[in-house]
Amino acid sequence: MDRNAFVKSHALGNDYLIIDPQALSFPLTERTIRLICDRHRGVGSDGILTPVPPVKADFGLRIFNPDGSEAEKSGNGLRIFARYLYDHGLTRKTQFTVETAGGVVAVRLHLRGSAVDRITVEMGRATFHSERIPVTGPPREVIDEAVDVDGQSLAITAVSMGNPHCVVFVPDLHRVDLHHLGPRLERHPMFPKRTNVQFAQVQAHDRVAALIWERGAGETLASGSSACAVAAAAVRKRLVDRILTVAMQGGELQISVSPDWSVEMTGPAVEICRGILSAPFLSALEAGE
């Protein structure tokens, strides 16, 4: 990458900046990440992806939320990063592995001619065990557990996909006050590391619709790991088949849940633009304003 350069891409409307920290004239800190991701005073994004040297895989990736916190894993971010690696000539392989804070994942690129069409990511195994998510209290599977939110009782199913998720199945998504319930569940005391939140409505034996409140980002048009968590929870509760579509505001992902709870996700990613951070903005970043 050029000095202070970025690439902006989206996956079903969930947009990320890819920035090589080695090419920056300033450190990526919580403050600078928040400024860059700001949609009014910065470039604007749902987060930042940074390539790092791998230890156990072909490539390494760190994922930052727009509030400056670090995410263990992002399905949409992984698809974006995989396409970036191929489109920018950093690999000619169509199958490779990426190491994240939430574990190593395998990636397959599906080409149409010479261009990437869709990307499949093996997201690892879903688990409902409280100590792995984590969820406070005695060791248990957190399935349909009653949680009080401002006097309202919600039945939650908690899932880890390498990052924490809280799935609430409802009869009608249109009746969900996401901006009220989402942040309260994200920061509920039972989730010591906070959590991603999904409200889900089963629409058919092979289809679930979902609204997403992402930890550190808020309402999100789509989330790959959230779609995987919703699918795993729906399968665990025997509401759907093991191969299904998860529909979100930004679009659809195809999810497969194996009997050993390994979850595979397939969907698109699109590059939007490439750019260079300008001198006045860099001055503000470097000066600590």
14 annotated to bind ligand? yes
Structure tokens at 10: 């989206």
163 annotated to bind ligand? yes
4 annotated to bind ligand? no
75 annotated to bind ligand? yes
| Residue tagged 């992402």 (tokens) | 214
Phi and psi at residue 185, to the nearest 5° = -70, -40
122 annotated to bind ligand? no
Q: Which of 97, 86, 28 is nearest to 59 (CA)?
A: 97
Contact by Cβ (8 Å): 141, 151: no
Phi and psi at residue 23, to the nearest 5° = -100, 10
225 annotated to bind ligand? yes
Contact by Cβ (8 Å): 232, 240: no
Q: How many CA atoms lie within 13 A of 182 on its CB side?
A: 21
Q: Which of 101, 114, 103, 106 is nearest to 79 (CA)?
A: 106
76 annotated to bind ligand? yes
Contact by Cβ (8 Å): 146, 155: yes
Q: How many CA atoms lie within 13 A of 122 on its CB side?
A: 17
153 annotated to bind ligand? no
Residue numbering of the annotated binding site for substrate: 14, 65, 75-76, 163, 196, 214-215, 224-225
Residue numbering of the annotated binding site: 14, 65, 75-76, 163, 196, 214-215, 224-225
